[in-house]
Amino acid sequence: MILGLHSFKGGSGKTFVATNLGYKLSESGKKVCIIELDLKAPSLHSYFESSNFVNDLLSKKVSVEECLIKARKNLSIIIASPSIQEIRKELVRSDVESLKILERLQKVLTELKLMGFDYIILDNSPGLSYMSVNSMLVSDIIFFVSRAEKDDLAGLRILYEVSKNVEKPKYVILNRVTKEAEIEFPVVAKIPCSCEVPDHPFFVEINREHEISKAFDTLVEKILKIV
């Protein structure tokens, strides 16, 4: 099952959700792969080292096996390149080139499924780029990650409007929640705000009794029930 994570703008904590959701799904016994698709502002290289990146994979320079980073039992990660050259290349990429990359991504996802991955999490770039919008089409479930702030919720409504013709299940994950917010869309999780977020890729691993970790436990239970 392919889980697509999207946000209207940066700073929503989408990558934080991707890594910790992936950890919890893998802990439940599912084989999980996280793919970092924010090629303009990659961040996972801060935690994981690799000489092969998703950029290379999508341009057919390397194989899937060469890109997989074994993060823990049942959890692999494919990270994006932090190279300035690669980031510049992404900034000027045409829609035609993006379409070719999207086609290559579909083949990569098929390979990962054949390798036995139960869940593939796509950590997409924020906003409404050609690639991020069209990657919704390859997802089985779409999650919009948003903070419960006025401007974030306005962006959330735009995401729903733009994706209204994409006939896939769509849910909201509210992150860094500090207050209640009225939302007209289905909310599948509310991740509390915390000042205790460590310099570690998996908050839930080192803070198992924290309310954030329990929120991810609840989110995983709901996802596992979705067929």
Nearest-angstrom CA–CA distance, 187 and 160: 13
**CATH number corresponding to 2-225:** 3.40.50.300
User: Could you list the pLDDT tens digit for every one of the 227 residues in the chain?
Assistant: 999 999 999 989 999 999 999 999 999 999 999 999 999 999 999 999 999 999 999 999 999 999 999 999 999 999 999 999 999 998 888 888 888 899 999 999 999 999 999 999 999 999 988 888 889 999 999 999 999 899 999 999 999 999 999 999 999 999 999 888 888 999 999 999 877 766 789 999 999 999 999 999 999 999 999 86
List for the chain the helix, strand, coil content (%; round to 5).
40, 20, 40
- Tell me how far apart the alpha carbons of residues 76 and 97 are, in angstroms, rounded to a whole number: 27
Provide the pLDDT for residue 130. 84
| Full-model pTM | 0.96
What is d(CA 85, CA 187) in angstroms, rounded to the nearest whole number?
Answer: 38
CA distance 52 to 168: 32
pLDDT of residue 227: 65
Task: Write down the domain spans for the chain.
Answer: 2-225
Paired tokens of 49: 């080292």
Identify the pLDDT of residue 39: 94
